Amino acid sequence: MPRPKKPASPFRYFNSSPVIIRLVVMMYVRFPLSLRNVEDLLFERGIDVCHETVRLWWNRFGPMFSADIRLQRISRMRSFRNWRWHVDEVFVKINGETHYLWRAVDQEGEILESYVTKKRDKKAALRFLKKALRRHGQAEKIVTDGLKSYPAAMRELGSERRRDMGRWQNNKVENSHLPCRRRERVMQRLRRMKTLQKFAALHANIHNHFNSQRHLIDRKTYKIASSAALAEWQNLMA
């Protein structure tokens, strides 16, 4: 019986080490750094990489790393049913035109889904909720703000009774916008809706991977969690 073929390495056509590629993608996506900031920091460490190479690598390998992280997380969380989701939308400017970035986070503050639309009406809310529910399953409660698009969309999905709303209840998802806002300032401006959707999803999964809730644990526990996250990162797409 012939042996199953080993999947081809995604790094096979690149002369650089996979370790360096993972480091470049992690630095650019995880931290609020520009392409040239990453180039300068790597040069100080003896790694000569052009900023355009940084752009190529995060575009090429970032979605692969992000998808691997997401699949591992979804497989672990499928059995968990007591989810309390928090959903919210924030406006972003693309070529001077207002768009909306929808985001859902769980009770631990981990980002479940990011979705970009041109409007924030019932149709947009329905597409966003359908995408989140299809990928992650049902939630016990969904906390929203006062936007009327949410009850209209949830009524059509038959889950209006799961909706919850109250003052300060949605702070988790509102705080989750802050890292993306910092990235938006570094990137200076966004030119395409597709780019924002790609980067928002990629940033969310990598942020989840390295988010150890450091404000809730002691330094020793945080270091252990960070080391484990880095070790898992080095094994992505291996």
Any idea what the CATH number is for the domain that residue 138 is in? 3.30.420.10
Confidence of residue 6 (pLDDT cuts 50, 70, 90): low
Number of structural domains found in the chain: 2
Average pLDDT over residues 220-230: 91
Q: Is residue 66 part of a domain?
A: yes
Q: What is the pLDDT of residues 167-202, one digit of tens each?
A: 788 888 888 888 888 888 887 777 888 888 999 999
Residue with tokens 């909720």: 129
CB environment 197-228: b (16+ within 10 A), e (fewer)? bbbbbbbbbbbbbbbbeeeeeeeeeeeebeee
Q: Is 151 exposed, middle or buried (0-12, 13-18, 19+ CB in 10 A)?
A: middle
Q: Is residue 65 part of a domain?
A: yes
Q: Is residue 205 part of a domain?
A: no
Question: Does 174 lie in the same domain as 223?
Answer: no
Q: Is residue 7 part of a domain?
A: no
Question: Does 150 lie in the same domain as 57?
Answer: no
Q: Is residue 197 part of a domain?
A: no
Q: What is the pLDDT of residues 73-85, one digit of tens each?
A: 776 666 666 778 9
Question: Does 167 lie in the same domain as 93?
Answer: yes
pTM of the model: 0.84
Contact 71/158 with Cβ under 8 angstroms? no
Q: What is the pLDDT of residues 88-123, one digit of tens each?
A: 999 988 888 899 999 999 888 889 899 999 999 999
Q: What is the pLDDT of residues 143-174, one digit of tens each?
A: 999 899 999 999 999 888 989 987 788 888 88
Question: Does 187 lie in the same domain as 94?
Answer: yes
- Residue-level pLDDT at 190: 78
Q: Is residue 60 part of a domain?
A: yes
Domain enclosing residue 224, as ranges: 18-77+212-234
Question: Does 159 lie in the same domain as 131?
Answer: yes
Q: Is residue 198 part of a domain?
A: no
Question: Does 117 lie in the same domain as 24?
Answer: no
Whether pLDDT at 54 is above 90: yes
- Residue-level pLDDT at 1: 47
Whether pLDDT at 72 is above 50: yes
